Chains A and B, each alone.
Chain A
């Protein structure tokens, strides 16, 4: 964007909002909003402490395991649903239902089924991420050019080869879009899991800071979390752009 001939750098609106935050904080209107500068000072003092690093590693572990399961199960299932009418009829109602279901309400059930440990947190994360990955992959496979499939059959591709040499690549732009949204949902899933199931990781930090009214600590951890989620999402968006050259020409 340009204003009065000056080209504004990307995300310069953040500077404006940061300034507003700082002013509101300095006015001392509410304990809930400490000045942004204070949040940053807290952030740098908190990052590097043992409890923070422990929380980070716990959260990262649950998050990456949950996302991995969502991808490893979600993509093949989505491809099969796009390829096979029967599989589609069988799974589509469930996928649509869980996509819009209030998954948080399911967490107590998961606790009963899988206990109060890491396992339940990982499953919660997977449940948040997987449905949109399945649906997007399915959509990607459904729009695949029929003659590519015929070409593969014609030149003797077996079903497995068709799967990983045609369907996967042809649906890749949609798959990456689905994974990107799934990852963002997984961030919510892992924190909800850590708040509701067992108080560990970032969830525990949020709980601790909120209960003790340490608002600048609270915001600092939230900023860290946002930065992490944003980076992962941007990496995936970058990968999406890498395949966009053929997304429009399939």
Chain B
């Protein structure tokens, strides 16, 4: 059972100087002639979950990969903890849409893989991995291989790997889109707990309005052609309510409706 008091969110608007873990300033990115992002500026408050929501082709995954340091913007810069991003770094961890697990490696080696790359000794990294495997609820599957697991379990492995490096910022690229509906709901509940318990900043790409409203402290609505942040919504009230009731809360339904109203004309 999830505790009713999820999180106390101060209205960031009123705070004089918000503490931002990640800031994207004036980001532009073009692929050939296609403008994926144009002069996009967005702030990601520390310890909160920010969703990037929008129709397909609005550049939300592009923005996430620029923050990860996997793509380089044509203009603008990203700062993580005040330092400009020049490439991937240990302050950020990535959760992939297709899980990106090594199919030839066991669960424990997959979870410990990021630490393995950093040269952490085997016994030490496996001890850390075991802890996170237990945290995501996969105890007993350490020796299993990804093809023996369900989609939801595979994404738990991906999540454990991202947690194992203890990065400040967790970047999640549509992490639940490849798992079934029931597993997704469980994931969303777990994610709320994670945001509450881990002092991390989450950046979460999704195309599901309901999912965004359910899990986010802040929702950035991205619209295509040219891609930009059209609106930032903070469902502050929802975060203080019992998660079990959120989905029939009138505020939740209102926010979902208003987001759909602003997005519907962009959906083909």
Contact = CB atoms under 8 A, between A and B. Distances in A.
Given A150-B70, A249-B146, A156 B90 contact: yes
Contacts of A111: none
Contacts of A245: 103, 145, 147
Contacts of B88: 153-156
A148 interface: yes
**Nearest 9 CB-CB pairings of A with B:** A246-B103, A155-B114, A151-B100, A147-B100, A154-B94, A154-B88, A157-B117, A147-B96, A249-B147
B165 interface: yes
Interface residues of B, number: 27
B117 A246 contact: no
B147 A151 contact: no
A161 B102 contact: no
A172 interface: yes
Nearest to A156: B117
23 contacts: A147-B96, A147-B97, A147-B98, A147-B100, A148-B102, A150-B65, A150-B70, A151-B94, A154-B68, A154-B92, A155-B94, A155-B117, A155-B118, A156-B88, A156-B118, A157-B117, A243-B104, A245-B145, A245-B147, A246-B146, A246-B147, A249-B103, A249-B147
B176 interface: no
A145 interface: yes
Given A147-B98, A245-B145, A249-B146, A152 B103 contact: no
Interface residues of A, number: 21
A30 B96 CA distance: 69
Interface string A207-246: 0000000000000000000000000000000000001011
Q: Which of A153, A154, A165, A250 has the most CB atoms of chain B within a 10 A radius of its CB? A: A154
B104 A155 contact: no
Contacts of A154: 68-70, 88, 92-94
Interface of A: 145, 147-148, 150-157, 161, 165-166, 169, 172, 243, 245-246, 249-250
Contacts, number: 62
Interface string B80-100: 000000001110111011101
Contacts of A161: 117
Contacts of A169: 102, 104
Nearest to A157: B117
A244 to B, nearest CB: 11
Contact of B114 (A148, A156, A166): A156
Contacts of B104: 169, 172, 243, 246
B113 interface: yes
